[in-house]
Amino acid sequence: MLLNERRALVSMPITFLLYQPENSENLGSVARAASNFDFHDIVLIEPKCEVSQKSRWLAKHGLPTLERMRIADASILKEFDILVATHGRNSTGYNMVRAPITPRDLGERLSEVDLMKTKIGVLFGPEGEGLSKEMINSADIVCAIPTSRDNPSMNLAQSVTVFLYELSLLTGRQNKITLPYRPMSRAEHDALIANVDQTIDAMKWKTRKAAQTQRIVWRHMVGRAFLTKRECYSLLGYLKNVLHAKGALKVAPRKPKQSA
């Protein structure tokens, strides 16, 4: 639902998702920063606080953006073609399933995506604990701001502002390139992951955890790669051949629905 629909705003086509925010002051600060960079689509997922008078005071000229915030439950995350999870914890090179890219890397990669045809969501966790491991692993891309080791933690509104700035540069980046190919659709993405799962199931693993790690790593690689339709179908053909070689192709691999 909308908190207020009094004013229509022209917005950058990326949704910022705040999961269970706890501090009403941060809502105002986020709205003010989002307005500075022409991002006005902000969703509060199962919020633990409400928009308060202090929120409105901190929003300043971003008050229309604050009033336009939507409230939803976690099921909204399934609506996005590309879901980016943010976190502030340091990851080691060995811990690949949580290896993040930077906001600048994210902006450069999204410059290859047709923003008008792709639903992109950037997800932030609660101020205290951040996103759970499960939510991070369910995202297509994991992103983190490189900060000082001595003082790595950033306020929610500060973190959002860094992403706002980097993603605001997307329009300039896209004006400098052409897109002669069609990016992989969500249906094609889901079909590719389904075939990856079928291939993993056909292989022998020492432990169930090893197989699950492969699933997570493949999901993150596919999410970060921004594959084209042709690349997606090439991978589907490869996976089909792997299953043939394993003698495990009992049913035809799942194919994505054809789109225009």
Q: What pLDDT sits at residue 162?
A: 96
**Domain at 15-175, CATH homologous superfamily:** SPOUT methyltransferase, trefoil knot domain (3.40.1280.10)
CA proximity to 30, closest of 71, 3, 65, 6: 65
pLDDT digits (tens, 9 = 90+) for 224-251: 777 888 888 899 999 888 888 877 655 4
pLDDT digits (tens, 9 = 90+) for 8-21: 455 678 999 999 99
pLDDT digits (tens, 9 = 90+) for 194-231: 999 989 988 888 898 999 888 888 888 887 777 888 88
Query: What pTM does this model have?
Result: 0.72
* Residue range 42-58: mean pLDDT, rounded: 96
The strand pairing partners of 124, in sequence order, are 18
Mean pLDDT (the chain, rounded): 83
> DSSP of 178-213, one letter per residue?
---SPBPPHHHHHHHHHHHHHHHHTS--SSHHHHHH
Q: Name the 3-class secondary structure at 92.
A: coil
Q: What pLDDT sits at residue 98?
A: 57
User: With 60 as the cut, is the pLDDT of residue 81 above it?
Assistant: yes
CA proximity to 229, closest of 252, 258, 254, 253: 258
Q: According to CATH, where is 3.40.1280.10 located in the chain? A: 15-175
d(CA 91, CA 70): 32
d(CA 98, CA 119): 23
Phi and psi of 114, rounded to 5°? -75, 100
Q: What pLDDT sits at residue 3?
A: 43
